Amino acid sequence: MPFLSFCNEQCITVKQNECMKNHTSFKIGGECDYFVVPKNTEQLKAVIQKANEQGIPYFILGKGSNLLVSDGGIEGVVISLCSLDGITVNGNEITASAGVSVALLCTTALEHGLSGLEFAYGIPGSVGGGLYMNAGAYGGEFSDTVIKAEYLTKDGQIKEIGVNDMALGYRTSVFKTNGSVILSVTFKLKEGEKTEIKAKMDDFLNRRKTKQPLEYPSAGSTFKRPTGYFAGALIEQNNLKGASVGGAMVSEKHAGFVINYNNATANDVKDLIAKIQKTIKENNGVELEPEVIFVGRK
């Protein structure tokens, strides 16, 4: 049975030729062949199994906040986890499905007087994406509070993994290499005063609004932090603030961000990133590694 017919028969939400710029914070990207939104884990398993049977590549999408999708779009199936959005609180532990926004995770912790996730308030991604790249800000990382996760293996088994086996490092995890799909994440937090928790959350959010170009589409910090340096400072020192290629520009507010300021293409962004890397390498001898993940047709 063709993939589209299979999804329709199983009542799985599916669209053809969906434009990916509608699903990424960069607002950039061509069309994918199929865009699928499973309602639950069983539908997710069925979609992946069908794609594997038919040799159709698939890509797992969270909130698209750290992606640059190519102008040629994505071949095969994009599977959005946005409907996997359950969240439960048990004592000082919160278990959130992969599609839950980091913002909702943080406000849920606040509502229950649980501290430890304040640093994450304002991170624009999903819980699954946050664990996938061990997201962090203001001195905190997911690895500080995560204790376990549930995931789907490539062959369709649901398993649990403890934090010590996740290989969590700076913007990386075991999930980047093992082909598994994160289903849910459990965090262990500490009891705290709601007023203090909210004050910290508000402080971190205000810092973001003041220092980051949130008024423009972007994928957050463009580069990983190079050892011994700060990417934004290096870029600013080399007078690259405001530098542009096509519709992509180095933010004049924060040099660590490449922004889509005027209908940028993915190639505009890639060329600007390459220009920045070349300049910093030549002038400072430092290799800047993108934090943004490039996906899609070449």
Element (H, E) at 68: strand 67-69
Q: Give the active site residue among 80, 180, 221, 251.
A: 221
**CB-based burial label for 55 (10 Å; 0-12, 13-18, 19+):** exposed
User: What is d(CA 127, CA 98) in angstroms, rounded to the nearest whole number?
Assistant: 5
Element (H, E) at 61: strand 58-61
Name the H helices within the chain.
3-9, 41-53, 102-111, 127-132, 175-178, 194-211, 231-237, 266-284
Tokens of 288: 């800047």
Greatest Cα pair distance in the chain: 58
CA triple 82-130-50, angle to 5 deg: 45
221 is catalytic: yes
Q: Give the active site residue among 171, 173, 180, 251.
A: 171
171 is catalytic: yes
37 SS3 class = strand
Element (H, E) at 140: strand 140-141
For residue 195, report the phi and psi dihedrals to the nearest 5 degrees: -65, -40
Contact status, residue 258 vs residue 251, Cβ threshold 8 Å = yes
User: What is d(CA 234, CA 223) in angstroms, rounded to the nearest whole number?
Assistant: 11
User: What is d(CA 112, CA 193) in angstroms, rounded to the nearest whole number?
Assistant: 10
184 is catalytic: no
Residue positions annotated with a catalytic role: 171, 221, 291
